[in-house]
Structure 1
Amino acid sequence: MPNHPTQTGWLFTPEAKSELSAESAQDFFDSPGLFKTMIESIQDGVSVLSPDLSIRYMNATMRHIYADTQEPLGKKCYSVYHSLSAPCGECPSLLCLQTKKAQTSTVRYDRDGRESNWHQIFSIPVLNPKNEVVLIMEYVRDVTFQNKMVENMNALAQRFETLEYQNKLLADILKQKRQSEEELEATINANVEKFIRPSLEYLKKTVDPGNVDMVSGLIDEIVYPITKKRSTAAASLTPRELQVASLIKEGFSSKEIADSLCVTQKAVDFHRLNIRKKLKLTRDVNLRSYLAVHL
């Protein structure tokens, strides 16, 4: 069985045999061996030190942890517990000697090349009537698991902060990209309205208006990938008119469209007329050519 603490606690359950017998509960509490029996039975480590930090007593848990140390009693605690030649820098027992008050500290447990563990040590002074420290009781608890949990939580918190910062940075980049696209779109639209539209209106007075409308449609198609704004003329068509318009665009005749939609040719011609009206096309504009550009 390993003789050192694990991340989740001691790998040891003391099997202290009570030497007590009592006629009543009160007799049990009055028994002089009660204190020692309780100390021997708990799973946390307990040791008693002299003022010079020599070990006077170790409970069953401490004896189990340091079972590979020969005759630890009488030796310095820092030598047995930490393999050091001088007291630990964070030794709560030294502070306990100075203040004559209970002290606590969490110290690293490194021994024989094993994985580092952490002990929380509570040092409690035992005072004589002259208020002098005659003994120090050390209560040792393995807090390795808790410390590692805190370390993991801190690491996760740092990763979360990093991800949060990266997400914010990405959001700012996307926002700038959208702003740039909107500015580009606004510039293109402004240039089209300022320079191209007036030119087309002028051309309508001198050349065939139908051809000008065709050129206007081509311009709309050129700028559409950027502006995403098609002519709103097609939006005015009904679903049936859009069906007819799509078939006209593909080159189907009125009879073929009528057969495809299971309607009369007269109904198709009626839809053709409505499409031309809604698109405001004059007689000289070829409907199929117009739809090929605008639909």
Structure 2
Amino acid sequence: MPQASSARRRHLSSSEAFSGLFVPQPQTRRKAAAVLARFDVCMDSFLEFWTLSMQAAGYLSFTTARRDDCVAACRAFLDPVLRHAAAEQPPTFETLRENAGGWADALLESGLRHCRRGVTVAMYLGCFKTFIMALEDALALLPRLCPGIPADHIPAATEFLRLHAHAFEVLWTEAGLRETAAARQSVHPSALPPQDELLRLLTLEKCRFENIFNTTSDGVLVMDENCRISTTNRSLRQYAGEGIEGKPVWEALGLEGESPEEFFRYYPIGQTVEVSPFGDGLFFRLSIASLGGVSLASAGEYLVLLTNITPQVLQREMMEEAIGRHAAALTEEKRRQEELDITLRTVLSTIHAERDSRRDELSSHIRRVLLPALEQIGREPDAAARRSMIQLVRGSLLPLIDGDDRARDGLDKLTLAELKVCRLVRAGHSSKEIAGLLNISPETVQTHRRNIRRKLGLRGHDTQLAVHLLHSGGETA
């Protein structure tokens, strides 16, 4: 083996042969840098692989690491690896195992903290190996998750990771041994707490968290990936009853669904749904959270939280009822307003129609009576006749004034010739005298008298025309 190693060294450059181990070429480092720069794309896959690896190795039940802690550990390792891949001077195994630049400080400190909490050096080293395997498995998926990464770049990144992983294993073994030796020297065996005392402290801590778990007024349960209930608190048992552990959550709480897939379709993780699983007018806000997103040890478990919102629901229903009554009142008021609008439009339409009719009547009266009278006045040479005709025109205009009594007598309906006859009848002239004064025949005068009586509403012979005209007053007649 030494001879083979010497033979291999003769084929390497001086920089490559410095440690007697593989030193990545610049092209390899560039490929590794391109791959590792996109690792966040496969971070979720890495966490899933690491959980499976830890479980297979038997370490998962001993860890309390949260998801955020696992992501931080991943970046604490990958950040210096990526920095070395982009550096001009390539790292060697010797420079890495000497922790040049403190590249492994964060991981070493994390490991020492775990040892102080009871994790052995060997167990932490085993966890680190599952960590590296999960990184490699996640890198293998990266070309499918990120099409911009060529598949032939993955071996270069994997090889570069392994170089750092080998160096860290040496660093950790040395640091762990130093920590163990220092702990043995600083603590006398007699000062270590006995096993019974440790169990007592653990029991007290367990009771403390159980008290918190059972004191909350919200119903809380934990279920596995098959939606079977494993743990419940006191508040939930008060609502759902005892002995629901081991049952499917939809059966124990009377919720929709008959399988995990169907249940999660009705109640998606991270969303809030209002339910009434126990009847009796009780309403709850149901939400589901994945415990695997908090701790790797709880992967495949879910926490279901039921918050009693009955008072809020009752208040909401009262408000909805009040709003409904108010809306009904507004609808009724709107209906009455619409009916009033229709009535007003009808009245306005009638007023407009009457106004148009009145205008038509006025126009007809002006054309039929006033304009001919004015023309005749203009042609009349006799002053007395003109005054008489002016009086007739004035008498014809007065009935058009609102509130004038003569408008109700029907005088506004008479023609100019009929108005002349009315004036002479009122003055006491007989039909024969009127015929002579107006230079018309007595038969024409009789015709005018009949038309006047009809327009004035005089029926039969009980009311004389002269008497009626005298009682109507004014100068028009």
Please identify which structure carries the higher strand content.
1
TM range (shorter): 0.3 to 0.5
Q: TM-score, normalised by structure 2?
A: 0.31
Between structures 1 and 2, the one with greater helix share: 2
Q: Whose radius of gyration is greater, 1 or 2?
A: 2
